[in-house]
Structure 1
């Protein structure tokens, strides 16, 4: 008997139509360089993206106001006059969107599941890169599979990425085993290293379950020659566990009602959720990769807008 596909509602399961329609909501948003990124658990840490690379354009006479760092000393000494090198910004660059659809993401207590929030963020990131003139591709992964989409500058490639996200998102089920102890995240980063030589934009969207020392090393290697952004998706319970009452925790078709006012429930659950979130945030800080903290209780687009817009003064 063939298993029936889940009905996408946009919160537990997404649809391809939903992700494609997000194109019209990214107007005014950009991953361009000189935008500092910070997060609620990053302290005062703020990093700037390098932006696109520069191509040598021409060697010309120095004009007052030219950047002295672009002086070509060899040519200046040879001709007895100051010469500068001028550059043009690359018209496009490859953007790789890494999207986590593991079982650890199939959880939610407010608004959306982490897996669906990650899917929305992936589509928003892809459309932002596409409208910036970049080539779009990515890696979509679950606990056992990594789907690779090579970056191409085309609307159909964005659709291919969104289709891969939708397939893996709709394949999630509470009946599947949770394999978060497997080093799948590190495998994905290793695959990304093989794809991205230099000057790529890499957006990693995950809850970072199972992240460890090897994850840190791979992130550092990736960010040495590429612009890397980490979007850590988390559930609001991790930061604001209510002191009393009952909390319905949902994981797929499984629902567990917890009486959080009971000390033996509240303390261990709060320590686990908050501690795990802060451990991952600390690891990401050590990687020097800009971090966005995105919670499942709010619209992902509005959170992206806050991170990219309202925090523009954080690194000044």
Structure 2
């Protein structure tokens, strides 16, 4: 991608996501993700109703009047975005590709974070960790993240979310707020599902974890368009599907429904809040829903 085209895309995403952040998300984000604790701010004279446990006896003795310590919430958090860059994210039949929607949502979360004085870091993953950007503050850092989302060329097209979760658990020592942005299309194979559920549970116990599932409406049900050539974006496997068959369409729909129910069960067991967002859907309401569940 040429530099000028890249900058235009980055700027477009920045304008949209900052606008949403300022108008909608900042307050919701602040309410949802509390700081690490309370930090001392100042002292003032005791007022009726103040907690006597907060009296500063040294200052009170100096001025011969009771003074209390005032505490404020420590706002600074570390926010980690786990972004799926596997081959299946390069798909879309509606308003945008899945990876484009992931880029916008990641930008909104990033700008919401820095507006609340939080650090933001990113783990880009396929079936391995493709790139790790350590948490930092500032607009230039967020723009770097957006550029990487648009420009990053992963070494692998496959997916292993469990590997990304394990990396989060090991690389980020202190408790953080983390969001996994993925289509979760590798969920459905029993051995990998077990590893995913274990990694999800461990990461969810250590960090404040949330998940955002991205999907395209065409993935939910097959259209009746006759013989269809389908290519697996992650393995390159080509298969022919007879979509004119009602039995084939029903089997596929049942597979999709079962996979979503299994995924929902995995999140519930790990006590991880999650929402799903379609490529033709306004993501504002799902994100606010996710924030309010915190």
TM-score (norm 2): 0.73
Choose the corresponding residue for 1:113, options 70, 78, 97: 97
1:297 Cα deviation (Å)? Answer: 1.9
Contact 1:107 1:250 in 2 (8 A): no
Is 1:32 aligned with 2:32? no
Q: Greater share of helix residues, 1 or 2?
A: 2
Is 1:140 aligned with 2:124? yes
1:159 Cα deviation (Å)? Answer: 1.5
Task: Give the total of aligned pairs.
Answer: 273
Higher relative contact order (CA 8 A, sep 6+): 1
Q: Describe the shift of the 1:139–1:309 C-alpha distance in structure 2 as closer, same or farther (beyond 3 A).
A: closer
C-alpha offsets along residues 236-267 of structure 1, whole Å, 9 cap, x if unaligned? 2344555x556897877999996644224212
CA–CA separation in structure 2 for the residues paired with 1:193 and 1:268: 37
Q: Find the counterpart in structure 2 of residue 206 from structure 1.
A: 182
Contact 2:94 2:280 in 1 (8 A): yes
Q: Describe the shift of the 1:266–1:177 C-alpha distance in structure 2 as closer, same or farther (beyond 3 A).
A: farther
Is 1:179 aligned with 2:150? no
CA–CA separation in structure 1 for the residues paired with 2:273 and 2:14: 26
CA–CA separation in structure 2 for the residues paired with 1:8 and 1:270: 43
CA–CA separation in structure 2 for the residues paired with 1:167 and 1:85: 50
1:83 Cα deviation (Å)? Answer: 10
Q: Find the counterpart in structure 2 of residue 92 from structure 1.
A: 76
- The 5 Å alignment of 1:223-234 reads 223-234=204-215
Contact 1:234 1:277 in 2 (8 A): no
CA–CA separation in structure 1 for the residues paired with 2:72 and 2:94: 46
Q: Find the counterpart in structure 2 of residue 272 from structure 1.
A: 255
C-alpha offsets along residues 122-163 of structure 1, whole Å, 9 cap, x if unaligned? 122111212222112211123444211111111111112112
CA–CA separation in structure 2 for the residues paired with 1:275 and 1:146: 30
Unaligned runs of 5+ in 2: 58-65, 188-192
